[in-house]
Each structure stands twice: as C-alpha cells, then as structure tokens.
Structure 1
Amino acid sequence: MFTRPYKRKFIGSIAMAVVLAAITPVRPKLIEITVNKYIAAADKTFADKAIEILVWITIFQIGFTVLETLLRFYFSYITSWLGQAVVKDMRVKVFGKVLSLNLRQFDKTPIGTLTTRTIDDIERINDIFSDGLIPIIADLLSILCVLGIMLYTDWQLTLISLIPFPIIIVATYYFKESVNKSFYRVRNAVSSLNAFVQEHITGMYIVQAFAAEKREGEKFDEINREHRDANIKAIFAYSVFFPLVEIVLALSMGLIVYYTGRQALNLGVGQEGKVMSFILYLNLIFRPLRVIADKFNVLQMGMIASERVFKVLDNDDVLPPSPPAAYAPAHVKGKIEFDRVWFGYNEEHPVLKDVSFLVEPGETVAIVGHTGSGKTTIISLLNRLYQINRGQIKVDDVPVDEFDVDTLRKNIGVVLQDVFLFPGSVLDNITLMNPSIPKEKVVEAAKLIGMHEFILQLPGGYDYNVMERGATLSLGQRQLLSFIRALLYNPAILILDEATSSIDTESELLIEKAIDKLIAGRTSIVIAHRLSTIQRADKIIVLDKGEVKEVGSHLELLARGGFYSKLHRMQFERKMQAT
C-alpha cells in the first residue's frame, strides 16, 4: 500500500541486491586464479609476463573494488531513501487518522502511547527497508552465490569447511529468539516511558504542588529499570553470539588449512590459491551471518511496530464522515433542538438520558446542574465531537449528522473553562494561525473584550510568545484570549462553558459588557456554576444526573421551589457565610 508509489525504486533495490550478490564472489575467485597461475607459477605459459599481468590484475581489482563500493553505497542509499519516503507518507496518514478519531479514543488512550505510535513505531518501520527486508534478501543471495562458487570450485573442501555450520545455525536461532523477546520488552517499556513522561510533564504543577516528586520519581525509576533490564538481556545475547561466530569461523578456517595441507602432501600439488580464496569466501559468508540474525530481529521489530501502527489506521472508532451531499449553508440561523438524546462515553453507563429541549434563534439559554450532570457533554455532542447513542440533534431543523462538519463547527464558537493555548504568539493563538484573518479584525475583537490595552503592554504586543499552554499568562487572561478567539470567528451559535469561573470580578464585568453586544441576534448557550451569571437568560435548563429536571426563566424556576430554587438557595447561603 505505502510502497506502491515507489514501486520502481523498490524493484530497483531488489535488482541491485541480485547484482551485488552476483559480483560478491568475483574478487576471491580472481585472487585464486592470480595466486595459482602467476604467483605460485602453477602455469608456466605466462611466467615471463607474470609481473605485467599481475599489475593489470591489481589495477582491475582496484577498479572492481571501487565499482562494488559505489554499487553498495547506491544500494544503501536507495533502501534508506525508500524507507524514509514510506515513513513520511505513513506518518502523515497516521496523524490524519489520529485527527479523525472519536474523542473517546483520547479519553481512554494515554497521549504518550499515541505519540509512540506516530513517531517511534513508524521510525522502526523505516528499519524494515534500511536494515531489514531488502538487506536480508541481499545477504541471503550473496551467501547462496558464494556457496555456489565454493561448491563449483571444490565441493569436498566446501562441505568440510561447513562442518561447524550447525553450531552457528542453532546459535542464530536462539540469539534471534532471545533478542526478539528482549526487544519486545524494550518497545513496551519505551511506550510506558513516553506515556509516563508526557503525563507528568503536563501535570508537573500538580506533582510539585502536592510534594509528590519523590513518589513519582520512584515510579519512573521502576519503569526505567524494566527498560534497562530488557536492553541488558539483549546486550548479553549479542556478547555471546558474536564471539561464537568468530570461533566457528576460526574452526572452519582451521579445517580448510588442515584438509588442503593433507592434499598437498599426498598429491604434491600447491593449494595456496584455493586456501586463500576459500578463507575469503568464508569471510564473505560469515560477514552477513554476523548481522543477519540482528537484521531478522530488526525486521521482526519493524513488523511488531507496523502491527501497532496499523491498529491505529484500522481503528474505525471515528465520527461518521460528512455525507457526499452534506448540508453546508452560507448562513446558520442558530435554532437548536435535542430530541430524546441518549449518550454515554461507555454505552453501559449513559451520561445523558432522554434529553430534549429547544433553543430558538437568538435566544440565550443557560444550562445548570451539579458537576457531572452532563452540561459539557451537551456542548460536545452539539459540535459532533462524539456520536450519540440514540435520539437526534438538529440545527435549523437539519440533523447535525447531515451537516458538513467544518460548516457546523465554524458556526459554533466555544469558550471553555480549561483554555488551551499553543506555543506561539498571542496573534497566532487568537487566529489559530489562519492566514486569511487580518490583524485589524483581531485588534477589533480585542478592543470589544477590553483586552487590547493589556496585549499592547506585553513585550512584543500581539507577537508576545505565550509559551506552551499559555504558561506566561494567568488563567483569567487565557480565558479572555479564548473569548477574543470566539468573537473573531463571528459564530451563529456562541457557547460559554464555565467561561467566567476563574476570572476576577473586574474581568468578568468586561466580559459581560462584551457578551451584551455579542449575543444580540445570536443563539447563546451559557454553562455556569455561579447562578448570578445566568439570571438574565431567556431560558434555564436544569440538569441532574443526565436528565432534564426543569426548564424556565430565573423567576419562574424560583417560584416553583424545585431543583433550581434549591441550587440558588445553597449558593446564596454560601455567599452570605463567606461575607
């Protein structure tokens, strides 16, 4: 699938492997002929011209060595290039898949695990091409060609030299199995390390605020110890295997010298050239054998990594895509209807139960309830961040499933309690790096919120770097920036999800003034724990444990003396106690 665009390069690398395998035994064979004919003077025919012929043979050997080196360089380059090209395409595909995953996948999957899949595991797939499949094919072809020439030259000597080979075959098998198990443990440990570090760097404030550095450090030490032990086991296998290969090679060479020495004594015929060539042949066989088991492990680890990557690619827990003829109106009026909606992040435990309500265009509706009652979930479903289990959600009498997703979300402006800012300038965070939004519009929105003067006081003004997650700004300032962001996109539907919960009274007054201008002719949904911020809403929806308990205006709900009245009385009493 991913190699199809590079089919010619892939076939070319295989062809290059065949060529390299064919020329591998040439130099040893040429050395054998040279020694037997012109150095040991086995052939007296050319004895007078021996020196001249040796010079030309030497020149040819040098030229042939240079040519072989260039071919091996090109082979190494083309396989590495192919690996990097495939990895680049695969990484883009995987990240695109991650972007389309249902948000529940991020709720239950550690961020570090997805990071490992997208970066580290895909890098292991690159090794399949640069150090795995194609190099293994090249090495095996080279071994077969060398063995073929050895058998053709002297089949008896070849078989004698291969007597210790069963040792290396058994050792290679056990080495491969041992290293494979160790590498599998290493990959799991790396994934755990990535997840742990990602989570703890993100939550470092909590770790330090609760003096948990020592405890969390001990947890990290335990995970890191597993990573170390797995690597040490692999290192031990290497330290045993490579010396064993050298011992087997030495045994084979000893058998060659012994056998050819016996032949020379019995037959009186020089075997110098044959001995030299066979020793070179053995080195050509053992050179790839030293690393072929390691390459098999690289290939296997690449396959394990590819299985993990393809699990992400094959994950079908995504929101249904927009239909081919998706509804994409130029203007959204802002009518919202929830009709008997059921939803749960886990279907066995519903968060919303048979929720129904209607918001007319231009209305301001407040949603109140205890923590965990499902307020924020309603907003996520309206944005199609999750797929409902039952019921229907409509905007302007059209089911949201039939909307073009981009059109729907562009018409819904959201200001959340937990504001996320990207590393970069104030301007980039407000526009979300959209080049089509001019700075003048940003300034206009900032003035409406009352943030323009504050931004100008920052070093660099709108170019001030807010750092990762807005670390250089207060929580209230971050919320105000996100409010500018929502204003800038001029949405038909405005959602304020606990947007003023962490803002001081002065900042809250600034926002309330901006809201008065903003909500005119615009549908607004306000979620807040502080009931004082929603008393002017046209309608208040009271949620409890995922069910709609009451609907009405502030005064109507107070008059009923029900759930809302109880909430209001509790907050009023707490306020009186605080004062």
Structure 2
Amino acid sequence: MPNNARSQVGKRTALRSLLAYGKPHRRQFALVFLLALLAVAADLLQPYLVKVAIDDNIMAGKNDYRMLLIICGVYLLLSVLGFVFSYLMNNVLQYASQSIIARIRKDLFRHITRLSISYFDRTPSGSLITHVSSDTESLNQFFSQVLLSLMRDGMTLIFIVAVMFHLDAELTLYCLILIPLLFLIAIGFRRHMRKTYQNTRTALSRLIAFAAENLAGMSLIQAFHQEKEQKSRFSDRNRAYFGANLKEVSTNVLFNRSFDILGGLAVAFVTWLGGNAVFHGNIEFGVMYAFITYIRLFFQPISTITQQWNTLQSATVSANRIWSIFSTEPEVRDAAKPVDMESQAVQGRIEFNRVQFYYKEGQPVIHDLSLRIEPGEMIGVVGATGAGKSTLIGLLCRFYDVRQGSITLDGTDVRAIDQERLNRLIGLVQQEPYLYSGSIVDNVRMFDESISREEVARACRLVGADELIGKLKDGYDTRLSERGSGLSAGERQLISFARIIVFQPKILILDEATANLDSHTEQLVQNALRVVSEHRTTIVIAHRLSTIMHADRIIVMRGGRIVEEGTHARLLELRGYYEELVRHSQGSAAGERKGRELG
C-alpha cells in the first residue's frame, strides 16, 4: 500500500478511535449543541429587535415609549440569556473534553508502560513526553475549539443567512456574491497557514525533546563542563521555534486583516446598495441597519472556522501519532493461558537451554548458551563490556524474549509465566537504582499501601539502612526528589535492597550494583547482600571481582558465550581469561587507591 494511502487509513482509524472516546459523552455534546443554538439565537435576534424599534416605532412616527421600553427589556434579556447559554455551553463542553482527554492520557500512559524494553531502546524519551503532553493537548483543542467552532460558528452563518433572506432576498443575493471571494482567500491562506503551523509544532517538539534529554543527562553535562555548548544548542532550537512562531503569527494577522478589509468593503457595498434602496423606498431604514450589522457579523465565524483548520490539522496529526502508539503491540507478550506459579512453591532453579539472542538480525549477542543454576545458589557473572552479561539478565526477566532455545524456572518456560507474576518472583537491583518523588516509605514499598510501615522499617533494619534513615530530618517520611537526589549512591542502593526484603522475590539479580561505590559503602552493601541473598537464588553481575569472589560459582562470559566456569580458586588455577580479568581488576583497583592517596 502506498504511503499516502497508509496515512489516510491511519487518519481514519485515529478519527474513529477518537470518536469512540466521545461516545460516552453523547448527552453532554447534545446539550452543548442545544445551548449553542440558544446562545446564537439570543445574540443574533438583538439586531432584529433594533430593526423593529426603528421601522415599526421611530420611523413610523409612533413614539410609543412603552413599546420601546419592552424592546429594550427584551434586548437586555437576550443579552443576559446569550451570556448564560454561552457560559453553560463552554463549561459542559470543557467537562466533556477534559474527561475524554484525561481518559486518553491515562490509557496512553498505561499502554506505554506495557510496551517492551525494545520499544524504548529505539524511541527517544523526549518524543514520548511530547506525545503524552503536547499531542493530548492538541486533541483537547479539537474538542474545546474546533468542535465548538463548527457548531457555534456554523449555526451563526446559517442563522445570519436565514434572517437576511427574511429581511430582503435581493439584497442577500448581492451579499452572497462575496462568498466565493471569501473561500478563495481562505483556500489561498490555508496551505501557507498549515505549513507555518506545522513548522511551529515541529520546532516545539524538537525543543521539548532536547530539553528533556539534557535534563535527564544533567550530571554528565556538568561533569564534562558542557553547559555553554548545550546552552548554545538550546538557543539554536529556541531561535528556530521563535522564528517559526513569528511566521505563524504574522500569517494569522495577515489573514485576519484581509478578512477585516473585505468586511469593511462589504459594509460599504451594503451601505451603498441599501442606501439607494432606502432613498427609493424599496426597503426600510431598519432593514438596512440590520443588514449592515449582520454582514459585519458574517465574516467573524468564517474567519474563526478557517483559523480552526490548523488546529484540526494538528489534532489529526496528534491523533495519528497517539494511535500509532496504541497500535504498537508489546514484543514480549503473555501466553494465552499463563502458568499459575505460587510464590511459596517456587524453588528458584534456573536453566538456560541452548539460548540464542540478537537485537539485530545477523548480529547475535548470545550464542547457543546453556547454564543450570540450582535453588539457593549464588552465581557470579563476569566478563568485559559487551560480553552479554546484562543481556542474559534481560532475557531471564523477559525484557526480551529468546530467539532460539528456552529459559525455564523450576522447569517452566518463563514465556509461559504471567509477566506480573514473573516480576514478583525476580528481584532486580541495578547499577543506578531508581527512586521516585515521594517518601522513603513509599519508595521501599513502591507505593503499595498493602505493605505496612512496620514491614518497611524491618526491611531497612535488616539491610543496615535504618541508621542512615534515622539521621534524616523526617525519618521514613522524608520526601525524596526525583531519582533520590540528596542521598549517596550507597544509600540509594541500601533502599533498593530493602525493597527486595519487602517484596520477597525467590530470585535476586544484582546488575553491577556496586560499580560506583567507594570501599566503605561497598562493604555496607556487601553486608546487605548477604542478608537479602539468604535462601534465594542469586545472580551477581560484577565489575569489581571482589564482589563475587565468594560466590558458589563464577560464570566467565566472552562474546556471548560461557568460556570458563567454576569457583574463584578453581578459575585462577586455570590461568585463563578469568585470571586476565583479575589482573586487570587489581590494576584498576591499585590505580584508584593511588588516585585517592594523591587526592
């Protein structure tokens, strides 16, 4: 299917899906339509009342003050009713549109969290932030602006033309000669306005993505003193957005002023035709007044509807992008009938059976790997960068699925286990533990209210985190900022170990968990590790070999294969690749000690 055809199909699918979100609010939209009809009627009847006052009273020479007072009262009443109906219309529409957008945003975030890790490997986080924030806001503008304009301004045009025909059909036909000219101007500006609008949205998206990327990597920017360089790059994107915004504004101003000029010419035209008709007694003066008023009002809704075209285009693009995410299926999916594994019955036996895996076709990362880990066994995994250590763990946690072979837990293929259940059975502590904005209690129990404070405190005591928490101003209620800033790397790791105690997984995985710690903090973490690994199958990926020297077994990986296997002493006796890694590690450690002494 050609790209244009695919794009049109995607737009129709997105539009149908968007309308499906609006179905539960049919009554609110029907009420909005009714209120819009009443508000338009109340506003547009006012010039007609003035026409009645002029022709039937003043020009007729009746000087009926009582009738004039009644007309004034009705005019005031229509003004108040117009305000009330408009107020109610906007509030009902906002309630419906905000409800729809809140549901879309909630569903979008939930869907994103269910996508596989491979999706996030190829999709920038700044782009996803734009989809969740800016694109959903564009959809909000579709309901609150485009839909409102189509209803209110569309009815206004129909009402004006109907009243004008009622007043004088011949003069109305003369006025309608202007409509083709209006459409020519609208069509002429539309393409240019769409282009400037899209340029502005693209520049804004790039600006947001760049800002999100830099805020996430601020520590790296400061470490390499890249503030000036990044500021310069940000300024370039900011200037591009500024320039695109100015072009969009100038285009809109030129479009609006063109309509204003045309409106002025139309008023002059109606005044000339109507004036001649009044002088010759063909129409009444009040009719001419009403015509002039209606023709002035006639241009405003056309201008508004035309301007909403850009908003409609933006909403269509945003809907297409959002539903392209909704249509993305997780690569890692649960089985149709997942195996129900009770936590208490799980022993923790892990088997890798001739596993092969690659991120890109033809570039294997794991080659025909077989490994058996017994329940309660502590396994160390070492190897140079790129050896496949973290990939091995990612396959066990089902961040990715194996391409060939299988991984089993107590004889059950992990692909047959519900992902939520598997995540409860496996506890993962990474090199950079992630802490959320919230209290220490919430971070330990991961906002699970079913876990009591007493359980959190007991877990922190077991891993040695209780003392450091006691030193904080509010103790366990101390609120942490994003990523736990204010706590050292070791303190964050201790809190992540406390999570393990609280959730009691059967398998514990440490992925370079001590790589960035000083020797004193590493000792605290090592003590915590001994506590949390007790009676658990434990896999430790280590940069520092001292971390896994006392493991029951050490797996040495190279190029996606297991090249050596055994205890620390046994591997040293082999005088192979492991010994080379040990010598390299000792040299690095000596360099670190020397650096600290010189410091």
Say if 2:422 is the partner of 1:391: no
Deviates more, 1:563-572 or 1:449-458: 563-572
Say if 2:194 is the partner of 1:180: yes
Paired residues of 1:24 and 1:142 also in contact (CA < 8 A)? no
**1:336-361 superposed Cα distances (whole Å, 9 cap, x missing partner):** 11112222333443322222211111
Aligned mates of 2:274, 2:460 — CA distance in 1: 92
Q: Paired residue for 2:58?
A: 39
Could you say if the C-alpha distance between residues 517 and 70 of structure 1 is closer, same or farther in structure 2, counting changes exceeding 3 Å?
Answer: closer
Aligned mates of 1:477, 1:269 — CA distance in 2: 91
Per-residue deviation, 1:216? 1.0
Per-residue deviation, 1:438? 2.1
**1:230-280 superposed Cα distances (whole Å, 9 cap, x missing partner):** 111111112212222121111111111211222233x34563111111012
Paired residues of 1:20 and 1:71 also in contact (CA < 8 A)? yes
Equivalent of 2:46 in 27, 44, 55: 27
Equivalent of 2:330 in 317, 322, 326: 317
Q: Paired residue for 1:466?
A: 480
Could you say if the C-alpha distance between residues 447 and 76 of structure 1 is closer, same or farther in structure 2, counting changes exceeding 3 Å?
Answer: closer
Q: Counterpart of 1:540 in structure 2: which amino acid?
A: I
Could you say if the C-alpha distance between residues 231 and 143 of structure 1 is closer, same or farther in structure 2, counting changes exceeding 3 Å?
Answer: same
Q: Paired residue for 1:451?
A: 465
Per-residue deviation, 1:289? 2.1
Per-residue deviation, 1:88? 0.6
Equivalent of 1:10 in 9, 16, 29: 29
Aligned mates of 1:576, 1:472 — CA distance in 2: 29
Say if 2:296 is the partner of 1:283: yes
Paired residues of 2:36 and 2:85 also in contact (CA < 8 A)? no
Q: Secondary structure at the match of 2:352?
A: strand
Q: Secondary structure at the match of 1:358?
A: strand
**1:65-86 superposed Cα distances (whole Å, 9 cap, x missing partner):** 2222222222222222221111
Deviates more, 1:114-123 or 1:557-566: 557-566
Q: Paired residue for 1:511?
A: 525
Q: Paired residue for 1:84?
A: 98
Q: Secondary structure at the match of 1:67?
A: helix
Paired residues of 2:221 and 2:227 also in contact (CA < 8 A)? yes
Q: Secondary structure at the match of 1:333?
A: coil
Could you say if the C-alpha distance between residues 143 and 471 of structure 1 is closer, same or farther in structure 2, counting changes exceeding 3 Å?
Answer: same
- TM-score of the aligned structures, taking structure 2 as reference length: 0.90
Per-residue deviation, 1:506? 2.8
Q: Counterpart of 2:57 in structure 1: which amino acid?
A: Y
Q: Secondary structure at the match of 1:394?
A: strand
Aligned mates of 1:426, 1:81 — CA distance in 2: 36
Aligned mates of 1:211, 1:566 — CA distance in 2: 35
Aligned mates of 1:264, 1:195 — CA distance in 2: 63
Q: Paired residue for 1:409?
A: 423
> How many residues are matched?
573
Q: Secondary structure at the match of 2:363?
A: coil
Q: Secondary structure at the match of 1:321?
A: coil
Aligned mates of 2:522, 2:221 — CA distance in 1: 30
Q: Counterpart of 2:133 in structure 1: which amino acid?
A: I
Paired residues of 1:422 and 1:469 also in contact (CA < 8 A)? yes
Per-residue deviation, 1:325? 4.5
Q: Secondary structure at the match of 2:455?
A: helix
4+ residue segments displaced more than 6 Å: 576-579
**1:493-522 superposed Cα distances (whole Å, 9 cap, x missing partner):** 111112222223333333333433443322
Q: Counterpart of 2:441 in structure 1: which amino acid?
A: L
Aligned mates of 2:358, 2:567 — CA distance in 1: 28
Paired residues of 2:149 and 2:304 also in contact (CA < 8 A)? no
Aligned mates of 1:37, 1:251 — CA distance in 2: 29
Q: Paired residue for 1:483?
A: 497
Q: Secondary structure at the match of 2:546?
A: helix
**What percent of counterpart residues are identical?**
33
Aligned mates of 1:36, 1:518 — CA distance in 2: 93
Per-residue deviation, 1:155? 2.2
Equivalent of 2:309 in 255, 271, 296: 296
Pairs within 5 Å for 1:36-115: 36-41=55-60, 47=62, 50-115=64-129
Q: Counterpart of 2:408 in structure 1: which amino acid?
A: K
**1:46-100 superposed Cα distances (whole Å, 9 cap, x missing partner):** x37x322222222222222222222222222222222111101000000001110
Paired residues of 2:43 and 2:78 also in contact (CA < 8 A)? no
Per-residue deviation, 1:367? 0.9
Structure 1 stretches lacking a partner, 5+ long:
none
Deviates more, 1:119-128 or 1:20-29: 20-29
Q: Secondary structure at the match of 1:555?
A: helix
Could you say if the C-alpha distance between residues 325 and 420 of structure 1 is closer, same or farther in structure 2, counting changes exceeding 3 Å?
Answer: closer
Per-residue deviation, 1:539? 1.9
Paired residues of 1:24 and 1:146 also in contact (CA < 8 A)? no
Paired residues of 1:133 and 1:299 also in contact (CA < 8 A)? no
Pairs within 5 Å for 1:174-573: 174-265=188-279, 267-268=280-281, 271-321=284-334, 323-331=336-344, 332-572=346-586
Aligned mates of 1:38, 1:348 — CA distance in 2: 91
Could you say if the C-alpha distance between residues 37 and 516 of structure 1 is closer, same or farther in structure 2, counting changes exceeding 3 Å?
Answer: closer
Per-residue deviation, 1:20? 4.6
Could you say if the C-alpha distance between residues 575 and 249 of structure 1 is closer, same or farther in structure 2, counting changes exceeding 3 Å?
Answer: closer
Deviates more, 1:154-163 or 1:396-405: 154-163
Per-residue deviation, 1:150? 1.5
**1:267-297 superposed Cα distances (whole Å, 9 cap, x missing partner):** 3456311111101211221221232211222
Could you say if the C-alpha distance between residues 241 and 498 of structure 1 is closer, same or farther in structure 2, counting changes exceeding 3 Å?
Answer: same
Paired residues of 1:9 and 1:82 also in contact (CA < 8 A)? yes
Paired residues of 1:334 and 1:492 also in contact (CA < 8 A)? yes
Aligned mates of 1:130, 1:574 — CA distance in 2: 62
Deviates more, 1:388-397 or 1:436-445: 436-445
Per-residue deviation, 1:562? 2.7
Per-residue deviation, 1:29? 2.9
Q: Secondary structure at the match of 1:2?
A: helix
Aligned mates of 1:352, 1:328 — CA distance in 2: 28
Paired residues of 1:162 and 1:252 also in contact (CA < 8 A)? no
Aligned mates of 2:94, 2:453 — CA distance in 1: 44
Aligned mates of 1:450, 1:408 — CA distance in 2: 27
Q: Counterpart of 1:350 in structure 2: which amino acid?
A: P
Q: Counterpart of 1:14 in structure 2: which amino acid?
A: F
Deviates more, 1:68-77 or 1:389-398: 68-77
Could you say if the C-alpha distance between residues 161 and 575 of structure 1 is closer, same or farther in structure 2, counting changes exceeding 3 Å?
Answer: closer
Q: Paired residue for 2:11?
A: none
Aligned mates of 2:533, 2:185 — CA distance in 1: 76
Structure 2 stretches lacking a partner, 5+ long:
1-19, 595-599
Q: Secondary structure at the match of 1:536?
A: coil
Paired residues of 1:18 and 1:141 also in contact (CA < 8 A)? yes
Paired residues of 1:150 and 1:158 also in contact (CA < 8 A)? yes
**1:89-135 superposed Cα distances (whole Å, 9 cap, x missing partner):** 00000000111011122222221211111112101101111110242
Paired residues of 1:372 and 1:545 also in contact (CA < 8 A)? yes
**1:508-546 superposed Cα distances (whole Å, 9 cap, x missing partner):** 333333433443322111111222221222222111121
Aligned mates of 1:206, 1:116 — CA distance in 2: 23
Paired residues of 1:20 and 1:142 also in contact (CA < 8 A)? no
Per-residue deviation, 1:164? 3.8
